[in-house]
Amino acid sequence: METALALEELGALFFGLGVLGRLAGRIGISPIPLYLLGGLAFGQGGLLPLAGIEGFTELASEVGVVLLLLLLGLEYSASDLVGGLRRSWLAGIVDMVLNATPGAVAALLLGWGPVGALAMAGVTWVSSSGIIAKVLSDLGRLGNRETPAVLSVLVMEDLAMALYLPVTTAVLASLGFLAGLRTVAIALVLLVVVLVVALRFGGAVSAVVDSPSSEVFLLRVIGVALLVAGVASQLQVSAGVGAFLLGIAISEDTAENATRVLSPLRDLFAAVFFVVFGLNTDPASIPAVIPVALALAVVTTMTKIGTGWFAARQAGVGSLGRWRAGAALVARGEFSIVIAGLALSSAAIDPEFAPLATTYVLLMAVLGPVLARVVVPAHGALSGRRRAAA
């Protein structure tokens, strides 16, 4: 009987997510905010509490994080990352300083201490590469001259995550300074080793998973990814970082095949991950954090626009293109939730952290694509008025 009930609940959950995803497509926004809302609706204090499937959904959401980061790693080749690092390190630093600071300051003002500040800094820092790639493609801006600048900011953020996530994992587990330093050193060494291996012997890692049969290939890729993620998790480097590094190490042709077979699985498990995050947030706690979330949204929208503006100017792009780059980067999404998800499991984190992160991502995931759309007509209207006044 229990199995029957669990199957019914899971079925209703996935079907509900499918309906939400379709709705998101209709109104032209990312499905992530709707999945979060779905989680809020089903979870504790929500409309329809789900019981008996937590064991499955918790594990599935962990797999979701692993797959999200594995596919992110597969998207970038090692030469992309090293090239991005050479060309855009300055934009990457500007991005970090401008966008991590507001989150950290907000957390300190709320009295969450340095651990809360570190986690919240990550939530406001990282743009959503998934949402942004989709928006640029939908708006026909992939060929624009500011787009490489936008993408290189995203690349820098992802590289930075390979260090930030282990640091945060260590701090959240309150391992102490020396143990924390050790995990950071492990992560740094792993990152360098993976980049070197991928650049010099890219074929070797691919050979482990490659197979002409797509079934065998799928099983091997998933198997290796979960193994690597598990070992990384045991070393306190965080499961996601392990998967991300594995993704980078798999070279181009194999990476493309892996992306093709894994994308549907990623969509499934990542959806569960977003829902579980929503499930763990009590909707009743949201109204109290709305003012802070709104303030953070306003400030970090401006700081992201500044970041994009700077990166595009470095690339020699004109005024309107700089604004387009800035607006494109505003969206936050999957990464902010991954970071918030890490923080959730720690005792050192204030209970208001999850509702704030949820509300913030809900705002930014919707606001980002809208801003990217309206920035061009808005710029036209403004410069038109300036011309009329002159």
Partner 1 sequence: MDVELTRLPGIGTKQEFVTGDGRRVGVLTHRDGHRELLLTGREDPDACVASVPLSEAECNALGTLLGAPNLVAKLGDQQREVEGVNTAQFPIAAGSPYVGRALGDTAMRTRTATSIVAVVRDHVVSPSPRPDFVFAAGDLVVIVGTGEGLRQAAEILEAG
Task: Determine if 95 is a binding residue for partner 1 (CB under 8 A).
Answer: no
Which lies closer to partner 1 via its Cβ, residue 293 or residue 312?
312
Single-letter code of the amino acid located at 385 = R
Interface with partner 1 (CB under 8 A), residue total 28
Element (H, E) at 313: helix 286-314
Which lies closer to partner 1 via its Cβ, residue 31 or residue 84?
84
Q: Scanning residues 74 to 93, which ones bind partner 1 (CB under 8 A)?
A: 75-77, 80-81, 83-84
Supply the minimum distance, in Å, between the C-beta of residue 324 and partner 1: 7
Environment class of residue 261 by beta-carbon count within 10 Å: exposed (0-12), middle (13-18) or buried (19+)? middle
Query: Which contacts qualify for 285-292: CB closer than 8 Å, 24 or more apart?
Result: 285/351, 285/352, 285/354, 285/355, 286/40, 286/355, 286/358, 286/359, 288/352, 288/355, 289/352, 289/355, 289/356, 289/359, 290/359, 292/106, 292/110, 292/356
Task: Determine if 251 is a binding residue for partner 1 (CB under 8 A).
Answer: no
Cα 142 from Cα 104, distance rounded (Å)? 33
Helices (H), 139-251: 147-172, 177-200, 202-209, 214-234, 239-249
Per CB under 8 A, the list member of 34, 317, 339, 340 interacting with partner 1 is 317
Per-residue contact flags (x/-) with partner 1 for residues 267 to 306, judged by CB under 8 A: ----------------------------------------
Task: Determine if 140 is a binding residue for partner 1 (CB under 8 A).
Answer: yes
Residue 96 CB neighbour total at 10 angstroms:
18
Which lies closer to partner 1 via its Cβ, residue 58 or residue 80?
80
Residue 112: both structure tokens together:
């969450």
Task: Determine if 151 is a binding residue for partner 1 (CB under 8 A).
Answer: yes
Residue 252: both structure tokens together:
């181009």
Residue 330: both structure tokens together:
């505003």
> Considering only 178-186, 224-232, 318-326, 330-338, which stretch makes contact with partner 1 by CB under 8 A?
318-326
Q: Which of 312, 318, 325 is nearest to 368 (CA)?
A: 325
35, 278 Cβ separation under 8 angstroms: yes
Supply the minimum distance, in Å, between the C-beta of residue 220 and partner 1: 21
Per CB under 8 A, the list member of 114, 318, 351, 384 interacting with partner 1 is 318
Cα 54 from Cα 36, distance rounded (Å)? 16
Which lies closer to partner 1 via its Cβ, residue 153 or residue 279?
153
Per CB under 8 A, the list member of 11, 256, 298, 378 interacting with partner 1 is 256
Which single residue is written with the structure tokens 């401006």? 302
Which lies closer to partner 1 via its Cβ, residue 82 or residue 348?
82
Task: Determine if 261 is a binding residue for partner 1 (CB under 8 A).
Answer: no
Residue 387: both structure tokens together:
């011309």
Which lies closer to partner 1 via its Cβ, residue 9 or residue 157?
157
Per CB under 8 A, the list member of 13, 29, 40, 154 interacting with partner 1 is 154
> Considering only 134-142, 173-181, 191-199, 361-369, which stretch makes contact with partner 1 by CB under 8 A?
134-142
> Considering only 8-16, 145-153, 186-194, 281-289, which stretch makes contact with partner 1 by CB under 8 A?
145-153
List phi, psi (to 5°) of 45: 75, 0
Cα 187 from Cα 39, distance rounded (Å)? 32
Per CB under 8 A, the list member of 57, 99, 124, 152 interacting with partner 1 is 152
Chain contacts with partner 1 (rule: CB under 8 A): 75-77, 80-81, 83-84, 129, 133, 140-148, 151-152, 154-155, 256, 317-318, 320-321, 324
